Structure 1
Amino acid sequence: MKHDLGRSLSPAPSVDDDPVAAFRAARADVEAILADPGLATRPCDTPSGRLPVERHVDQVVSEDLPLHGWDLARATSQDDTIDPEDVELAWASVRAVPDELMEKLRTPGAFGPDIEVFGPEVKLGEDASPQDRLLAFIGRDPHWRP
């Protein structure tokens, strides 16, 4: 699969066969792009609009991974507390998204087959914690249990 950068992903085992090796291969691909100033600063299309590659990578790592960490922790009945600084960063980021783009982000398939960025907002009471408000805004039910 080719992306805006005209590069293909390196050969790697499937996540099902060897998740650690698949992760390491993906990380090496990203690190190689970030190490090349010409590629790192090149604009690319993202769900957040057109951004330099390095900004998009930072956005995914800094803002998206803590949310997926919550998914994994909640699904496996572990401590699912997100660092308050990460909550604040992600909240500021998602609240800054224009309504038109947020609608697209909530539309399944808008960025390709089987891609769903955010689900419909989950309604919570006024007394919800900042973490719960963030999760609900992006379509996760903070009260869900496995």
Structure 2
Amino acid sequence: MSEISERYRKVAGQFTQRVGAALDDPDTARRQRDTPMGRASFEQTIDRICTGDVLVHTWDLARATGLDESLDPDEVHRFVEGMEPLDELLRQSGQYGARVPVPDDADEQTRLIAFVGRDPQRSLASRWQRS
């Protein structure tokens, strides 16, 4: 295993252990705090950040490797519903690029991918053909 892989596994393991322990403690998990996304419990904040991150990067990796890009439609719906009201805040954070235009009748997954600044129509091959 490469040094980078080992380091990633170590840090990911520490993150998972610490967040898991905090979520397992009911008082910590339910504690309310003011966040840039509004007042929320620790468990709500972790869900908003981590679930969305994994969802979008699952699509990224599937697209990059030519695998099935289908995402769980319930999670896509939940994520879209939660992000739409935060559009301006998310753009200001620098976490997402400009929304990519898609047809009005695009399915929800396509709208999600476009919302976070990915072009759902662009092929992986076209990324490598930039001049």
Scaled by the length of structure 1, the TM-score of the pair is: 0.70
* Shift in CA distance, 17/82, structure 1 to aligned 2, threshold 3 Å: closer
Q: SS of 2:39's equivalent?
A: strand
Q: CA deviation at 1:126?
A: 2.7
Which of 52, 73, 81 is the aligned partner of 2:41? Answer: 52
Which of 5, 18, 24 is the aligned partner of 1:35? Answer: 24
The reply on whether 1:124 has 2:102 as its aligned counterpart is: yes
Whichever residue aligns with residue 139 of structure 1, its letter is G
Q: Distance in 2 between matches of 1:76 and 1:142?
A: 15
The reply on whether 1:68 has 2:46 as its aligned counterpart is: no
Please tell me whether the aligned partners of residues 33 and 39 of structure 1 are also in contact (alpha carbons under 8 angstroms): yes
Please tell me whether the aligned partners of residues 47 and 105 of structure 1 are also in contact (alpha carbons under 8 angstroms): no
Whichever residue aligns with residue 91 of structure 1, its letter is V
Which of 57, 67, 70 is the aligned partner of 1:78? Answer: 67
The alignment's C-alpha RMSD in Å is 2.2
Report what 2:128 is aligned to.
Answer: none
Q: In structure 2, list runs of 5 or more residues that go unmatched.
A: 125-131
The reply on whether 1:140 has 2:118 as its aligned counterpart is: yes
Q: SS of 1:56's equivalent?
A: helix
Q: CA deviation at 1:123?
A: 0.6
Report what 1:105 is aligned to.
Answer: 90
The reply on whether 1:16 has 2:4 as its aligned counterpart is: yes
Q: CA deviation at 1:54?
A: 1.0
- Equivalenced residues, count: 121
Please tell me whether the aligned partners of residues 63 and 89 of structure 1 are also in contact (alpha carbons under 8 angstroms): no
Q: Following superposition, which runs of at least 4 residues in structure 1 exceed 4 angstroms of deviation?
A: none
Please tell me whether the aligned partners of residues 119 and 138 of structure 1 are also in contact (alpha carbons under 8 angstroms): yes
Q: SS of 1:74's equivalent?
A: helix
Whichever residue aligns with residue 91 of structure 2, its letter is R
Q: Distance in 1 between matches of 2:80 and 2:66?
A: 24
Q: CA deviation at 1:34?
A: 1.2
Whichever residue aligns with residue 106 of structure 1, its letter is R
Higher helix share: 2
Give CA deviations for 1:37-77 in whole Å, capped at 9, x if unaligned. Answer: 33222233444223110111222344432122111211222
Q: In structure 1, list runs of 5 or more residues that go unmatched.
A: 1-14, 111-115
Q: Taking every aligned residue pair, what percent have the same amino acid on both sides?
A: 36
